[in-house]
Chains A and B, each alone.
Chain A
Amino acid sequence: MSIASVKYSSNAVAPEPEFPSAQLSIRNVTKVFPGKRDLFSKLSRRTTRDFVAIEDISLDIEPNTFVSIIGPSGCGKSTLLNMVAGLSDVTQGDILLNGLPIQGPGPDRGMVFQNYALMPWMTVEENIRFAVETVYPKLSPKQLTRNIKEQIQLVGLEGAEKKHPHELSGGMRQRVGIARALAIDPQILLMDEPFGALDALTRGFLQSEVERIWEQQRKTVIMITHSIEEALLLSDRIVMMTRGPAARVDEILEVPFPRPRDRETIDQHPAYHDLKAEMEHHLFRETRAVEESRIRR
C-alpha cells in the first residue's frame, strides 16, 4: 500500500445514513472518573466521589473542517480529545468515525501533544520514521525515506533531520510533533493545546505555519486551545464549552473568514471583533464562575 494512494482517498466518507456529512460524530458522550470507594479507602477514610467531567456532549464534525474547542481550564477539553483519540474510555455514549464506533487508539487519528512527546533518543528523522514504520510496516525503504523527507520539508525542518529533540527549540520540536502526526496520513488530526508550551512569538509563527499546512492538506482537525485569536485564525468552527464538572457544549460559532487567512489582516474582517467579543464574554463568564467556585470551596 503506498502512502500516496491513501493520501487522496482517506478523506472519503463512508456512507452514513443519519449524519451523512459527519466524519466524526460524538453522540451523547459522558465521562465519569470513578471515585475510590473500595474497602481499603473506606477504612483509611479517603474515599472520593465520582467525578463527572463531561456530561452528554454531542458534536458532529464534517470532513475537511478545522474545529477548535475552547473553554475554561479544567472543563474536560483534553478528556474529550483523549476519548476521540481512544486513549480514554467513554463512560456513556458513542464516538463514531465514518459511522463506526472507535475501538481504542488507532492510526486513523493522528495526535499532536502539548509537550511534543518526542522520543529524546531518536533524531528528528527517526521520530518520524518510527511513526511511519509502525503504521505502514510494509513500505519499501525508498518510499519510507521519501515520505519522511516530504514531511520534513512540509514543516520546514530541512537540515535538522539528524538532530535530537534536546538540540531543538520548542517551536521546532512541535514542528516535529506535527510532522510525525501527519506522516501517518491520519483521517483526523487531534491537537491538544499544540502551542501551549511555546512563547508568544513562536506561537504566532507556528500558528501561521499550521494555517499554511492546513491550506495544503485540508485535513479534518480538532484542536484544543486557550487562545481566542488562535481559534479565530485557524478554525472553521469554534466549540465553546462550559465550565466543569459536567461540562457541556455551550455554543458553536461558525467562523466565516475567507481562506487562506493572514494573521495580520484577519482582524479587518467585519465579523472579527463581534466574534472575538462574544468569545471573550463567554470565556470570562465561565472563568469567573470557576474562580468563584474555587474560593467558596
Chain B
Amino acid sequence: MKSISAELKEALANIIDLGPGQATTLPPEFYTSESFVELEKEEIFRKEWICLGRVAEIPKRGDYFTTQLLDEPLIIARGQDDKIRVLSNVCRHRSSVIVEGNGNSKHFVCPYHAWTYANDGQLLRAPYMDQIKGFKVEGSHLPELKTEIWHGFIYVNLDGKAKPLAPRLIGLEPYLKNRHPEDMLVSLVQEEVWPTNWKCLAENYMEGYHLSTVHSKELYDITPTRLCEKILPGEAYTGYKAHYTRKSPQQKPYHPNMTPEERRFSMFFWIYPSHTVGITSNGSASLALQPRGAGEVFNRCILSSYEVDAARPPEARTEGFNKTMDEDRVQLEKIRRGLASRYVERKPLGPPDLEGTVWDMYQYMARMLTPKSARRTRLKRAS
C-alpha cells in the first residue's frame, strides 16, 4: 500500500464501517494521483472482471474484434466451435501485435513474420521453424484469458483468479430479466479517450443528482433528479432507477416481457469497477471504462437497441446520446480543474437516491484496497 498517502489510506479504511447517512466525498488524491492509479490497475483492473464489449458484436463463427486492457492487446474472437474467447493479441515469436480492428477470419496472421494462429489461438504455421530442433507448432498457443458472458456482455479477468461473476450479480436479475439486454442489437461502437479520471466519468454516469442541472435541456423533462430511486447494492454492483415524467412519450420498441411499470423508468447499473450501463425502455448505452493514467480514461461505448434502423446513419442514431455526453464533458472538465485545487475539502454526498451509488462505489474501493488485516485491527481497536 506504499502508493497511497496515509490520508487516503485512512480515509478508505474508515469508510468501510460507515453507513449511507455518513457518506462523504474522498480526498482529491483519489482522482488525481498517478501512483494511486497504478495501484488501481494492479489491485483492481488486473484482478476483477472487466467488460470488453458485447456478444452481439461477434455473432458469427470467425467474427472478432480487438481492443486493449491496460497494457494487454486482446483479440475477442468467436471460434469455429462457436465459443467466444479472449486471446492475447501478441505474437509468441517477437511480440508484435497481430491483428487490428475487427472482421471475420479463421486465422490470425502476424504481419511481421507470418506466424499463423487459428481463431482459437493455436499456432498453425511458423515459416522455417520446422528446422528448429525441439520446436513444435502444436506446443505454441496464444494465451487465453479467463472470460465470462453475462447478459450478452463479455468480461475478461486478466489474473485468472476472480470468482465467477454471475453469482455476484444475482441481485440484479429482477431488474434485468424482463428487459433482456442480451437480445439487443449493436447500433454503434465508439472508442474514445476522455480527459478525466475513470471514476469521475463512471460516477457522473451513475448518479442522478446532476440530471436536472447539467442536463436541464436534454434530460430534465424525461428523467429529472427528483424521480431517481436507488436500488439495494450488492457486493459487486450498485444501481438506480431513473423514472420518467408522466409527460415524456413512451419510447419504442420495448421488450414485450416488460411490465407497464418497467417501461416508465431507465435502469442504470454499475458492475464494479468500471462497467456502467443505462437501459432505457427501448435501448441501452454501455460504457466500459479503463484508466489510461490518472487524468485519462478509455471509454469503449456501445449503444444498443431491440431494433436497429440500418437506413439511418450512425450519427443520427446517436445524436441525442452524444448531446447529453457533450454536456457531461463540459462538466467533467470543470471537475478536473477543481480537483487540482488545494482547498478541496471532504463534504457530504447528496441523499442516497441521488448520489448513493457513488458512496456504494467508494465502499467497494475501500474493500478492494484495504487489506483484511488492517480491517481486523481497526475493529479490535474500536472494541
Partners in one complex: no
- Chain B residues with CB under 8 Å of chain A are none
